[in-house]
Amino acid sequence: MPSLQEIHVNLIDRLQEAKDQGWLGEVAAIETTLAAAAQKPEAMRDRAAQPSTVHLGMPDFRRAAGRSSAESAGRAPKGTRTGSARLLPSKPRDRTRPNGHGSSRSATTSSPGSPKPRGKG
């Protein structure tokens, strides 16, 4: 704490100069600073006597990952799917089409590379 001692000596010198010059505002400010400087070494000794290790516990990553307590307990919140890797909601199926996907292809149309259906004749 040598620097605190140097500060204390400097403040005493400044206080004497302020009194000699009649600077009453400066005298009051330096006296306040001297009182705080006198308390600082005591506060530092008290702090040094306290244990320096703080137990922070185990971090909980569920909140950071965006999971709720219902999901972590094995129940999905209302309106969510479980076990699905999809990130976007699925489109409703078009029930009017034969393949159920709303595609313009019919169920009998072949795709490239598949065998062509045999017709009559």
User: 57-100, pLDDT tens digit by residue?
Assistant: 887 777 767 655 555 555 655 665 555 555 566 666 666 666 65
Residue of 104 and 63 predicted with greater confidence: 63
Residue type for position 111: S
How many domains does one find in the chain?
1
pLDDT tens-digit readout, 22-62 = 999 999 999 999 999 889 888 888 888 888 787 788 877 77
Which residue segment(s) compose the domain that 7 sits in?
A: 2-48
The number of beta carbons lying within 10 Å of the beta carbon of residue 64 is 8
C-alpha pair distances (Å), 51 with each of 1, 46, 48, 55, 79: 20, 10, 8, 11, 49
Residue 58 C-alpha from the chain's centroid:
16
Can you give the pLDDT at residue 118? 65
Query: What tokens were used for 73?
Result: 């307990």
Q: Let me know if residue 27 belongs to a domain.
A: yes
Can you give the pLDDT at residue 4? 84
Residue 78 C-alpha from the chain's centroid:
26
Q: Let me know if residue 42 belongs to a domain.
A: yes
